[in-house]
Structure 1
């Protein structure tokens, strides 16, 4: 609400950070179009596209998106590790050495693998329609995201802000 008021006063439009992620029918849909849209729009031209171009020379244009997706997810994982480092450093009374646990990195690695598998499936089999009904694919996607987030991503955040 405060954001809306500030936007009206300043006469600016802010991009919505999310686009109904609960309607995601796949991890590719979740990460590419619905979750943290601003980050996706930053990583796409700065990491993904250059990696597609680089890998196109090595494995061809058709398959270049698969390692490019993995690299993009790894960059996102490293960015989150850096965020946790800063949270830990700011909340620490001492200058203790930061030891990464790599849980969030593993979270992004797993998601990158599954997005890459989805892309490979689409490129290989060229399905004309979705394999599962929308309600099933939405439920499975959100279950996967929530399970991995609750076991790998969120605990790291809480450990980072503990005193």
Structure 2
């Protein structure tokens, strides 16, 4: 607890220094170097001695990267705009509490429908967890699909928070959705840009893609840089959360391949029917997913045992029957 408070104070001090000391510096290279090394050092010490196989470790690494990207982008590229410290700070805090006006949000269903969807996701997520926990370790496409479905359905936690915000704000505000039915994606650009992990996407788009696109006048360079940085983030997760250096390169290659594929989608103007586009997109995701998901699936039971979904032990929640075979 004391160490967590210490790191929070350090990050807040870094935010103050970036805004009041580094941002006014006229030389852009110096601003970048000072901000980059400050964030890199803080991320390094924050991610030391974190418990392996814990979801909180993955979250901590991700938050450090997202805060660093925000700070670097705002310190480096926002100098010409009028930006108060309050706005500067709120941009950082948005990572923790991604509040958005409801009319600008995606995937906003009527509250009653959202509640029904939460119940369905909860039941399916618990069912997948109880099935996975009794199965042998191994990497195959069936287990990859189960893990993918588990990630998609764990969003019932975020959906619940969204409903609470909508009720308390009288449906004026909501939270940015975690996912927007990525299984319906008809392209990789749609998957990464509009449907999967909307919070991380927003930070990457505003802090990496847009500044680089403007700087180099190229969406291709911006997209590749975004996927490279996302790949490095996930490599850091492999090293810290799983102590798995062997999976670092495949994880990075996964994001690099997806970056190239997204750029090709932009340049290749061949129009396929929607069902063909869906098949191509989902097939590419399935074929390449072992590159990134292997650490999660190989670690299997230790990771699952240490990260049970919320309410998994609640007796009042109906439990779907677990098959007597393993995928």
Q: Structure 2 length as normaliser, TM-score?
A: 0.39
Give the match for residue 37 of structure 1. 198
Q: Deviations over 1:40-70 (max 9, x none)?
A: 11100100011112212xxxxxxx0001100
Give the match for residue 16 of structure 1. 177
| Pick aligned residue for 2:253 from 98, 102, 106 | 106
RMSD over aligned Cα, in angstroms?
Answer: 2.4
Count of residue pairs the alignment pairs up: 140
Q: Deviations over 1:67-88 (max 9, x none)?
A: 1100000010011111122212
Per residue, is there more helix in 1 or in 2?
1
What is the alpha-carbon distance in structure 2 between the residues aligned to residue 145 and residue 49 of structure 1?
A: 25
What is the alpha-carbon distance in structure 2 between the residues aligned to residue 25 and residue 9 of structure 1?
A: 31
Q: Tell me: CA distance 1:18–1:5, structure 2 relative to 1, closer, same or farther (3 Å).
A: closer
Once the two structures are TM-superposed, the CA of residue 154 in structure 1 deviates from its matched residue by 1.0
**1:157 has 2:296 as partner:** yes
Unaligned 5+ residue runs, structure 2?
A: 1-117, 119-155, 303-327
Once the two structures are TM-superposed, the CA of residue 162 in structure 1 deviates from its matched residue by 7.9
What is the alpha-carbon distance in structure 1 between the residues aligned to residue 160 and residue 227 of structure 2?
A: 34
Once the two structures are TM-superposed, the CA of residue 5 in structure 1 deviates from its matched residue by 5.0
**1:52 has 2:198 as partner:** no
- The DSSP-based 3-state class of the residue aligned with 1:102 is helix
Q: Structure 1 length as normaliser, TM-score?
A: 0.74
> Does the CA-based 8 Å contact 2:238-2:245 persist in structure 1?
no
> Could you say which structure has the larger radius of gyration?
2
**1:84 has 2:234 as partner:** no
